[in-house]
Structure 1
Amino acid sequence: MLVHEEVRTALDEGRPVVALESTIIAHGLPRPDNLRVAREIEGVVRSKGAVPATIAILGGQVRVGLDEAALDALANTDGIAKCGVRDLAPVIARGGDGATTVAATSHLAERGGIRVFATGGLGGVHRGAADTFDESADLGTLARVGICVVCAGVKSILDLPATLERLETLNVTVLGYRTDTFPAFYLTSSGLPVTWRVDSAAEAAAVLRARLDVGAPGAVVVANPLDEQMDPDLHERVLRDGLAAASAAGVTGRDVTPFLLERFHSQTEGESLRANVRLVLRNAALAAEIAAA
């Protein structure tokens, strides 16, 4: 694991650091927007007084904190593997390049001593999981890593009630940030209640400190709703049509989410893409405030 000098110095001096995933750069956004947005996300973290630590695998080496050349390579190189925790070892052993998911970023951030991580949305339980057992590895990883994950809830294309049930079963603490309902990525509210609410970064930080004091396992998820949601009618129509198209095309398993997200990008005239960027920037800002607190 190669920790960037700026990140290592900040950690050694007890200054705030925020981990950032790399899947959004390599797989989540089109070129050249992906590199521009990557820089913006890091810039937002810096503007709030924290040091950004984007995590990826380059040339078989885990990198915690990327310089400009590494960011550029991540954004513009073809064939970068999408890495969950189970994929890290094969990619590293082969000297490959990998972009880290929520699960892999959380795992590596904790190993690097970073306590706060900002992302877009969590993975969760897929629709129809009672038959397919299709559940994101994010959930199992969050049950064991001791970090704070700031997100816009769970992607609305998933089974949100089942996902919240699994988070409860796995003892993952969920905090609604200035909300009493769980956000749904493109939508500000799923209509599902959250047990605990915080209204400031300081309150969230207090929960993190108390978690350490009591020795509670697992992550603390801070669910930060988007400020201006997508048109709900448009969202419902695209989701309904996308699910039907996925079924007709035989798309299953881990391929369903990217298939549906691509449908959203292409059929909402960029509205979903703009919402995606906006929520990631908001989450990065809040994560930096929590890390500083």
Structure 2
Amino acid sequence: MSQLVTGDAVVLGLQPARLPSRTMALVIDLVVVVGGYLLVSVVLLSTVLSLGTATADAVGVALLLLVLVGVPIAVETLSRGRSLGKLVFGLRVVRADGGPIRFRHALVRGAVGFVEILLTAGSVACVASLVSAEGRRLGDVFGGTLVVRERMPVTASAPLPPPPPWIAGEFAQLDLSRVPDRLWLAARQLLGRLEQLDQGVAWSMSARLANDVMASVGVPAPQGMPPAAYLAALVAERQRREAARVFGGPPVQPAPPPVQAPWPPVQAAPVEAVPPREIPERPGEAPRAGGFTPPA
């Protein structure tokens, strides 16, 4: 995974969980789930055994899938990626872009995990985690998820700053599907730590990241808009669309552009924004309209 590094060598990224902690968390989850399965199966099968062997076998298979597959999926969905074992060891399952998982992510993890963990005694999951640089098993690869450490010996990140109210809905018509997950993750991490960074470093990193996101979106940023505000507006718009898909709701109509952009001046910026169509991205590349320029 690509990571942004500040001038003080501070990495803005999530800390992937290692195999030992994931294994111990899995052991706790398996003890609870298998113990519950054995207890429920003894009680339930004893009541349906009088109905015939075929009925008892059908109930046994349904109970196996319900408890060993359905329960972990339900727990991860309702707890946003924190099972009992992960809660004990301070772990959480998140999306590849750092956001909370949904039902479809937990479903893929649970379905693949039944094969690579239960049917193979965890050997496939162990090999996949050792091969992956981020410790991801096959369920994480197919589900687009990552198990990270929540308990870190650092200051907690600040919440994402909200976008300015006068641009609400301005990016509602943009196509954000072409922005890769690594850029969303970097944007979330950077916006959450802007208050902890030097203003010059924050401007430089925001400008570089905003240029990369702008290249994926294909639409230049509004004239005079600071790069951090541009990133915050796009992240908020993406979160709004995800919430609308899950919970429903009327679409947000784009707001008309203001007559004069009321962006507050950046007092401590080490450089000034270069006018559009005058910013070369890299040596040998054509200038890009509406971009931001980091300090040299």
The answer to whether the superposition gives a TM-score over 0.5 is no
Higher normalized contact order (CA 8 Å, seq sep 6+, divided by chain length): 1
Structure 2 length-normalised TM? 0.21
Structure with the largest fraction of strand: 1
